[in-house]
Amino acid sequence: MNKTLKLSMIALLAVLSTGVKAQTASETANGTARVSLRKALAIEEKTEMDFATVTLGTGAGTVSVAENGNLTPSGDYTTAGTGKAGEFTITGPANQALNIAYTNGVLKSSAGGATEIPVTITGTESLTSSDTGIADLTITGELSFEGNEADGDYSTENGTPYTVTVSY
C-alpha cells in the first residue's frame, strides 16, 4: 500500500516536469504606431496660353498676355482675337506653402523651319494650397519677335514647352 502511493506521486511529478505549462494568465501591452503622410504634388494644365493672332510690326517687338488675357503689343505690332493666360491646377497637401519655378519656352512653326519665337514666362513663385489641397496658378508670358518671322501657326508643341515646377 505504501509503495503504490509513492509510485503514483513520482508519476505525477514526471508529468508536471515535461514542459507542459499551466495557462495561468495572459498579459497585454499596447503598441503605438505612427506615420507621416504627405500627398504627392500634381500639376495639370487647365488652359493653354494663347497669344491669338499677331501682326508683326517694324523690326523687333513683343506681345505679352496678362492674367486676364489682355494682349499688349509693343510698337506698331498689333493683335487680334482673344488672348489667354496659362492656367494650371495644383493638387497636393492642404494648406501647404508651395514654391514654384519656371523655365521659358520656344514656339516654332507647324510648317517646320528654324524660326524660333521665344516666350518668357512670368508667374508667382509662391502659393499656399487650400483646405482641400488645391491651388490655382495663372501664368503670363511675353513673345519676342525679330520682325522677320514667316507667317504661320507657331506653338511650343513644335518647339520647346515652358515648364512649371512646384515643390514644398
Q: Which residues bind another protein (CB under 8 A)?
A: 2, 6, 9, 12-13, 16, 19, 21-40, 42, 91-94, 96, 132-134
Min. distance of Cβ 165 from another protein in angstroms? Answer: 16
Q: Closer to another protein by CB, 55 or 128: give it.
A: 128
Which residues are CB-contacts of 60 (< 8 A; sequence separation ≥ 6)? 144, 145, 146, 147
Q: Closer to another protein by CB, 5 or 114: give it.
A: 5
Min. distance of Cβ 75 from another protein in angstroms? Answer: 46
Grid coordinates standing for 105? 519656352
Rounded distance between C-alpha atoms, residue 27 and residue 36, angstroms? 30
Min. distance of Cβ 22 from another protein in angstroms? Answer: 6
Backbone phi, then psi, for 56, in 5-degree steps? -65, 145
Min. distance of Cβ 97 from another protein in angstroms? Answer: 13
Q: In this structure, what DSSP letter does residue 58 have? A: S
Q: Closer to another protein by CB, 80 or 94: give it.
A: 94
Min. distance of Cβ 140 from another protein in angstroms? Answer: 27
Grid coordinates standing for 117? 519665337
Which residues are CB-contacts of 148 (< 8 A; sequence separation ≥ 6)? 56
Q: In this structure, what DSSP letter does residue 145 have? A: E
Q: Closer to another protein by CB, 27 or 151: give it.
A: 27
Q: Are 101 and 122 in contact (CB under 8 A)?
A: no
Q: Closer to another protein by CB, 7 or 114: give it.
A: 7
